[in-house]
Amino acid sequence: MTVEMNALLATYDLDGANQARLQKASKMVMALLPEVLDHFYDRVGREPEMAAFFKSDKMLERAKGEQLKHWSRLFSGEYCEDYQSSARNIGQVHTRIGLPFSFFNAGYAHANAQIQALILKRQTGGLFRRASETHILLGILSRAMALDIQLIFDAHAEAVQEEQNRGFRYMTEAIEALAAQDLSHDIPSPENSDLPEQFNGIRESFNAAIGALRQVISGIRTSAQQLDSGALEVSQASQDLSQRTESQAATLEQTAAAVEEITVSMRSSAEATQQTSGAVDTTRQRAEEGSVVVRNAVEKMNEIADSSAQISKIISVIDDISFQTNLLALNAGVEAARAGESGRGFAVVASEVRNLAQRTADSAGEIKELIDISTKHVESGVELVGNAGEMLESIVNHINEAADLTQQVASSADQQSTAFGEINIGVSQLDSVTQQNAAMVEQSTAALMEMRNEASTLSGLVSVFQLGSGSQSGGFEGAQDAAFRNVG
């Protein structure tokens, strides 16, 4: 017997004389135990909560037999290692099956009461001749039952503590693995380990949570990798777009400058065309004035031709007069010759008149020839001036057509100048927008690079977690399925 057990017996006043009294009364008490146990287990069978711990009558009978052996050791008063081991075993069994200690304590109270009642009923004669001895024995039996309860409770508490230690050990290992960023560690089930059944609910919840966290971390890792890859692709595309946008902006800037030059050139062309149109209008006016002058010249030439014809007629009259004068002078000479000496002076006059008439006729002929030549020249001039007039009219018509075309060209050039001005404004605005787009693309590229850095950082953070094999699938759903299987 150990020192601790001796001290405990002394505490319950079960050592020395009292221990001897119990040993002396052990046969009588053991004779009462079958009846007490029958009553004890009949009561167990009547209460559903207690009967639930015994699934069959055979199990109930086996428990009754084990209880009889234990009480026989208790009431023998020996308190040897055999009894202590039996008490520890009962406490461990109660812990394993989850029997509430209140049920056990109540059962012992009823059993103790029945033992005392049976002893009091048989107190006449023999061992129980004196009431004081009976009361002393009843006290010893009560303290023995209390000692047994304490030993069983201590074993139960020790078993509970050991179970809790085992459960907490598994939980500690799992939490330490989690703290070490190892998500592949699952708590084994009671079927596959010595984990107490009472921790199975916590185990299932923890494993389900770890499974869900494992799936989340795995998803985050995959998403971070995809995000990093996508950010890299988008960043490269943005850089390419930035370069293209910058090139486009430079091209648009050159285009804007070229359009500006074309606009200035078109504006100058429009102004030159307007000036040309004005010059053509002036030329047309000059040509029209020249046409009027030519028409006037033609009229004057026609008047000269008419005057020449009149002069020619007058010359013809003078020529006729000279011819008649010559005839008269000839007749006067003939008459003067007939008159003889008296008509000599008249003959001289007639001769002079004839000579004058002849000279007049000669002069008239010469004048007529000159007038005929002048008439021909005038007629030729009239014809040439008429042709010139027709040419001038044709020129005027062509100038009018040219003026109309020039005016159309001037109007078209002005419209084109206006259109190119609007194009220039549009290209300038497009150039400004492209410059803004280029700046925005550069900002987007910078943001994407920052996002890629953040994705790399996130990937680095989640990469330290150990997910174990098969972590890409199953996850939380797998943990739940396992939990439900374990519960079933």
User: Mean pLDDT of residues grouped by 10 in the chain (488 residues)?
Assistant: 87 90 89 88 80 81 88 87 90 83 84 88 59 84 91 88 89 90 88 87 91 86 79 77 77 75 73 73 76 73 76 79 79 78 75 78 78 76 73 73 72 74 76 76 77 77 68 44 40
Query: What is the token pair recorded at 42?
Result: 């009949």
Question: What is the per-residue pLDDT for 433?
Answer: 75
Q: Quick one: how far is CA 227 from the chain centroid? A: 13
- Domain 3-179, classified CATH 1.10.490.10, yes or no: yes
Q: What is the pLDDT of residues 288-337, one digit of tens each?
A: 777 777 677 767 777 777 877 787 788 787 778 878 887 877 787 787 77
- Give residues with Cβ within 8 angstroms of 482, minimum separation 6: 204, 207, 211
Q: At residue 64, what is the residue type?
A: K
> Is the domain defined by 246-463 classed in CATH 1.10.287.950?
yes
How high is the pLDDT of residue 129? Answer: 54
Sign of the CA dihedral running 193, 199, 201, 202: negative
Helix, strand or coil, per DSSP, at residue 57: helix
Rounded Cα gap, residues 171 and 179, in angstroms: 12
What's the pLDDT at 361? 75
Q: How far apart are CA 228 and CA 121, in angstroms?
A: 90
Among candidate residues 47, 155, 158, 66, the one with its CA nearest the CA of residue 110 = 47
Among 79, 69, 83, 84, CA closest to 30: 69
What does the DSSP 8-state code read for residue 282?
H
Position 232, amino acid: L
Q: Which long-range contacts (CB under 8 A, 24 or more apart) does 108-115 make?
A: 108/145, 108/148, 108/149, 110/39, 110/40, 110/43, 111/36, 111/37, 111/39, 111/40, 111/145, 112/141, 112/142, 112/145, 114/35, 114/36, 114/39, 114/40, 115/29, 115/32, 115/36, 115/141
List the domain boundaries for the chain.
Answer: 3-179, 246-463
SS3 label, residue 466: strand
Q: What is the pLDDT of residue 471?
A: 53
Separation CA 236–CA 229 (nearest Å)? 11
- The token pair that represents 108 in the structure block: 């012992």
